[in-house]
Structures are given as C-alpha cells and as structure tokens.
Amino acid sequence: MKARLISVIVPCYNEEAALPLFLDALRKTGAELYDEFACNTELLFVDDGSRDATLAVLRDAARTESNVRYLSFSRNFGKEAAMYAGLQHAKGDYVVIMDADLQHPPAMLRDMIATLNAGGYDCAAARRVSRDGEPPLRSFFSRRFYRLINRISDTEIVDGACDFRMMTRRMVDAILSLREYNRFSKGIFSWVGFRTKWLPFENQERVAGETKWSFWGLLVYAIQGIVGFSTVPLALVALLGILLCVAALLTVVYIIIKTLLFGDPVGGWPSMACMVMFMGGVQLFCMGILGEYLAKTYLEVKRRPVYVLSETDADADSTPPDADSNSRNP
C-alpha cells in the first residue's frame, strides 16, 4: 500500500521558540515529499498545556495553513498523553511522531516513507547510535535501565530507540487498542509487534528552548516502564522472603546447638538490634515494591481519561475537521 496522507504528530510543551523553525523546516520537507512520493502531509500539533505562546503560534499556523491541525490540552498531561491524543486524531495512512525541537531530522522522513512503501515493514524507527552530548551520568543510568528492563521483561525495549518513528495505519490501530492509563510507549510499540526497521541517526542539538526532562523525571519514567512491563520485581520479593526464612531457620538451629553445648549466657543484643532493623528495612522495601504495583492498579481501575482537551482547530474555525486533510501542501 502506498500512502496518500502522512500524519506528523508533534507533542509541544512550551515550544514557542522552536515552533516557527519547525514549521519552516516541515513546510520544505512536505513539498519535497509531495514531489517524490505524491503524498500529502498533515501536521497535527498537540499542545500539552503549554504556559507560553505555543497555543497562539499553533492557532496562527492552523489559520494560515490548510494542512496544520492542533489539539490543546487543559493542562500538562505529559508527552505520553500527547502522543496518544495525536495517534487517536491522526488520519494519515502513515503516522509519524516527531519532537518540536528539530532533534528529529525531517530529512529522515524520506527514508521512512521509502521503507514502508517498499513493504515488509510496518514501522520505520530512528535509533540513536551514540549518546554524545548527553550528560555522562544520564547515559550511565540509561544504559543500566535498558539492561535491567530487558532482563526482567518479555517485551524488548531497544536501547537508543526514539519515539521518532513512522507507522502504518494497522500498527497505529493496534497501539490504540491498548487502552491503559499508565502509558509507556517504548514498551507499547514493541508489545504490539509488527516488523520494525531501525534507521540509525546521530543525536542533534535542540534548536531552541530547553529539555523538559529532569533526572528525577527520567527516574520516575523508568520505574513506570518497569512496573508497566514486568512483574519480576514481585517474584523477586517473594524469593527474598524465602531466602530470609531459610537464613532465619539456620540461625535458630545454630543458636539451639550453641546453647546446648555452651549454656546460655545473656548477650548478643547488639546483633539482635541489627537484625530487627535489617528485617524492618527489608519488609518496608518489599512493601514499597508491592505498593508501586498496587498504586498503578489503582490508577488503572479509576479509568480516568489519559488527557482532557480544551481546544482544537475545529473549535477555532467552524470548518469540519475532515475538510482539508487531502489538500495539497502549500
């Protein structure tokens, strides 16, 4: 199947500085893609509750350019929610997710379309070949995270895989059929299966603005990934419990024998205090792991929506949302 419409989903959070540059770049790329593949591109921006002029820039772009659409959230729901909303609203035969900061080179769209058009693949995804330019501590923990999650999860999470990927309609529909609230896309993309072609790319500098990820944010994201795609920590907790029981039993036998052989001098309370504290710590730690799963379950059963829309391009002008999706690029 050859694509007639490519949807480009762009999550934006406080990207007023980067957006004009992004729009410029995509305008050019869109025209090139039309010439080469005879396909139109629609740009679907998702304003993730930005506090700057991002929404105003988007309103403006949607008014002047027929292939620009936008959704705006009522508050910041996170990039995962923005990607989900984008996938739900995209109409294209192929759908691609791109960052607004031009860290994902638009030139790669060509290769992605060519890969999917050739058949055999349902996804063409960018994969970073190096972590140059990233703080060393962040690289170190990222690598550890990928090693860990791939050991304890059945779903493969590829190191260096970006959210920058183009997917066919059937893969997008499969992703949308996963309705979980705690979304970890790196896992979801891999869980739905389909053949993915990895396209290597070098880390690019952000064109403007600054990254939204703090170390703490990444840590929370990593824990969400582990809890979402593996129950091995729960099994480890049980194993730890059994091991400690065995150790306790051996200690009891040792104490009985020692008492029978050497009598029962009162002593050893410092080691007892240490044991009590150690066991308390282990128990709290294990309860914490259980609690993490319970908390996620609690959030899932509430069935809250992943995001809340406050405005879309359809509100801004009263043209029906379908009206301009097949128009030619400017």
- The DSSP line for 75-120 is S---HHHHHHHHHHH---SEEEE--TTS-S-TTHHHHHHHHHHHSS
If binding is defined by CB under 6 A, does position 185 make contact with ligand UDP?
A: no
Helix or strand (DSSP H, E) at 312:
strand 309-312
User: How far is it, in rounded angstroms, from Cα 129 to Cα 186?
Assistant: 17
What character string, x for contact with Mg ion (CB under 5 A) and - otherwise, covers 81-100?
Answer: ------------------x-
- Residues 6 or more apart whose CB falls under 8 angstroms from that of 222 comprise 141, 145, 149
Number of residues interacting with ligand UDP: please give it, by CB under 6 A.
16
If binding is defined by CB under 5 A, does position 14 make contact with Mg ion?
A: no
CB of 307 to ligand UDP, least distance (A): 11
Contact 37, 113 (CB under 8 A): yes
Going by C-alpha positions, the residue among 9, 15, 41, 11 that lies closest to residue 28 is 41
Site for ligand UDP in 206-245 (CB under 6 A): 211-213
CB of 100 to Mg ion, least distance (A): 8
User: How far is it, in rounded angstroms, from Cα 183 to Cα 83?
Assistant: 10
Q: Which is nearer to ligand UDP, 76 or 325 (CB)?
A: 76
304: tokens are: 């809250």
What character string, x for contact with Mg ion (CB under 5 A) and - otherwise, covers 97-126?
Answer: --x-x-x-----------------------
Partner that binds at residue 325, options Mg ion, ligand UDP, none, CB closer than 5 to 8 Å by kind: none
If binding is defined by CB under 5 A, does position 163 make contact with Mg ion?
A: no
Residue 251: C-alpha distances to residues 94, 244, 248, 266 (Å): 64, 10, 5, 17
Contact 91, 5 (CB under 8 A): yes
Return the residue matching tokens 């609230």.
Answer: 181
Contact 26, 104 (CB under 8 A): no
Number of residues interacting with Mg ion: please give it, by CB under 5 A.
3
CB of 211 to Mg ion, least distance (A): 6
CB of 29 to ligand UDP, least distance (A): 17
What character string, x for contact with ligand UDP (CB under 6 A) and - otherwise, covers 69-108?
Answer: -------x-xx--x----------------xxx-x-----
Partner that binds at residue 203, options Mg ion, ligand UDP, none, CB closer than 5 to 8 Å by kind: none
Q: Report which DSSP code applies to 329.
A: P
CB of 103 to Mg ion, least distance (A): 4
If binding is defined by CB under 6 A, does position 183 make contact with ligand UDP?
A: no
140: tokens are: 């170190």
Site for ligand UDP in 138-167 (CB under 6 A): none
Provide the b/e sequence for 301-319 (b: ≥16 CB within 10 Å): eeeeebbeeebbbbebeee
Partner that binds at residue 117, options ligand UDP, Mg ion, none, CB closer than 5 to 8 Å by kind: none
Partner that binds at residue 15, options Mg ion, ligand UDP, none, CB closer than 5 to 8 Å by kind: ligand UDP
CB of 75 to ligand UDP, least distance (A): 10
Partner that binds at residue 78, options Mg ion, ligand UDP, none, CB closer than 5 to 8 Å by kind: ligand UDP
- Residues 6 or more apart whose CB falls under 8 angstroms from that of 57 comprise 16, 19, 20
Q: Report which DSSP code applies to 179.
A: -
Q: Which is nearer to ligand UDP, 79 or 169 (CB)?
A: 79
Partner that binds at residue 59, options ligand UDP, Mg ion, none, CB closer than 5 to 8 Å by kind: none
If binding is defined by CB under 6 A, does position 16 make contact with ligand UDP?
A: no
Please report, as ranges, the residues that interact with Mg ion according to CB under 5 A.
Answer: 99, 101, 103
* Residues making contact with ligand UDP (CB under 6 A): 11-13, 15, 48, 76, 78-79, 82, 99-101, 103, 211-213
